[in-house]
Amino acid sequence: MLSKDSKIYVAGHHGLVGSAIWNNLQQRGYTNLVGRTHKELDLTDQVAVKKFFDEERPDAVVLAAAFVGGIMANSLYRADFIMMNMKIQCNVISEAYAHGVKKLLFLGSTCIYPKNAPQPMKEDCLLTSPLEYTNEEYAIAKIAGLKMCESYNLQYGTNYIAVMPTNLYGPNDNFHLENSHVMPAMMRKIYLAKLIHDGAWEAIRKDMDKRPVEGVDGSADNEAIEEVLAKYGIYNNKVVLWGTGTPLREFLWSEDMADASVHVLLNVNFSDIIGIEKYSSVHFGASTDGAVDRNHSAGRGGAIPSLGEIRNCHINVGTGKELTIRELSELVVKAVGFEGTVEFDTSKPDGTMRKLIDVSKLHSLGWTHKVEIEDGVERLFQWYKDSLK
């Protein structure tokens, strides 16, 4: 168990999840937190990461930093998505081990699961059939990350836990149209379409100044702003969204995700996930902090016949509930107060048709979500409006 004065490094502490985890830890009285912006520490730089761990020597690490984006970004930057994320993970996990970090929490994504996985998706369906092509590189990087955690635990007796959140949304979400996820992109599009209809150009310019679109900000003339917004399906009182609107999606409020992450960080050990009985039966020597005695497992290369095959030790984090993209758009329309039309461009891809996860393992470990989607959409729109002030 980590004490209140344990030094905890949160990688990606300015991001959607990282910032929420940081706040959650502080609220619980864990104030010895360490964070670095991308400018201060490039996690793809192995030498810089080693130097950071040499200097800070954290007791625990939360790896919430990643190179992320939506369906368009995943398609355009395939090499970046696999290379950048692999570098970040390799550098942080290897240095955490080299510096004796007691506990590491790795954040992945439910896009690790096969495109046609049985629904709801249990942890055991990992690597059972092909991935969704549009996010294959990101998914492969995240699978590698969870396998690194699992393999370090088996070979070296570490206590590294991987959690796989469903689609997240909440404070500090990314509303940039070029690379945002479905909910914030949809919300901003519908809001801007309403503002154009209302002739609220001062509010539109404020929005464009805060988050320029393809270099076009609030200083541009009305025609230039309308032209660039039209490229993203934003018109006067009309929004065009990609796909058919029929794919089902599960969404989790980011502060709920943070609460689940901190719950796992503080209360769940690798031995809890694979069964302490199995550990005991081979004299694995689980220590008081939930790690395994390194002397017993060192050099085994992860092959421990008496334990059988140990895999899929990651934990799904979500609500276990879903709605269609069209139903989501209706919730956003209601929150924004939009009275125009929402159309779906069926010539554009839908992506995976369903991505519901089974959260029974998480529930068995003592955590369930609190914020329902109807309330969460209202909260996100309020946060977005506040961010423009």
The whole-angstrom separation of Cα 103 and Cα 289 is 8
Give me 290's structure tokens: 């939930």
* Residue the block writes with tokens 């039309």: 341
Is 97 assigned a catalytic role?
Answer: no
Give me 18's structure tokens: 């990282």
Residue of 138, 160, 169, 279 marked active site: 138
The whole-angstrom separation of Cα 27 and Cα 34 is 15
CB 185 within 8 A of CB 197: no
Helix 373-387 × helix 325-336 angle, to 10°: 50
Residue among 372, 188, 160 at smallest CA distance from 269: 160
The whole-angstrom separation of Cα 382 and Cα 376 is 10
Classified as helix, coil or strand, 316 is: strand
CB 62 within 8 A of CB 11: yes
Please tell me what DSSP assigns to residue 290. S
Give me 24's structure tokens: 């959650």
Strand partners, 249: 323
CB 342 within 8 A of CB 236: no
Catalytic positions are 138
